[in-house]
Chains A and B, each alone.
Chain A
């Protein structure tokens, strides 16, 4: 079955960097666009970024543009999120999520990895 397993979260200081990974299995990873979505503690969902199936197109939320970079390695079935210049407001549970080719819905989600930005 479809599995998305995020890793790389932790506690970091403001201004530092962190790279999240998402290992995908159970489906043809290279056929699917992928999203990162985050949720601050006790708050709602916030869309972060999306990458096309082949990595040629990437789009970001204004709140992370210029600081975060989404990428993928289809040979390793892995999605990444490089997060630079982290701020306290980036503290959240970060979900990796799959977008099917023919719709805009997100049909599979990981369980998330927690990023805490605090001094």
Chain B
């Protein structure tokens, strides 16, 4: 149950697009379409942004999108806004019926 690999930080200017990667193995990310993404602002509980690789919950901006290729999932934020500055975590279901989070990525809006 090693944590999924994410870049420690990603930054972009307002209006730009950024992509956060989430790399696992064939026992988690690569084996199932069960990757979700969470946004967490300081001092707040996480918020679901994407589930099952590419599905957006009701109320989440369509500027957020998800995808997967092999053992790597990705979250793209387009039209970056100041309110997007937060920590982002991926999470995957695993072959042992457990779950594993990524190490987290700090997104900075320049």
Contact = CB atoms under 8 A, between A and B. Distances in A.
Interface of A: 35, 37, 44-47, 50, 57, 59-63, 95, 103-107, 109-112
Interface of B: 1, 3, 34, 36, 38, 40, 45-48, 50-52, 55, 57, 87, 89, 91, 93, 96-104
B45 A44 contact: no
The A interface is mostly helix, strand or loop, or mixed, namely: loop
Contact of A59 (B36, B40, B89, B98): B98
Contacts of A35: 99
The B interface is mostly helix, strand or loop, or mixed, namely: strand
18 contacts: A44-B89, A44-B104, A45-B46, A45-B91, A50-B98, A50-B99, A62-B1, A104-B51, A104-B93, A105-B36, A105-B48, A105-B51, A106-B36, A106-B48, A109-B46, A109-B47, A111-B45, A112-B45
Given A45-B91, A45-B101, 13 more contacts: A37-B46, A47-B99, A47-B100, A50-B99, A57-B97, A103-B52, A104-B52, A105-B48, A105-B52, A105-B57, A106-B38, A109-B46, A109-B47
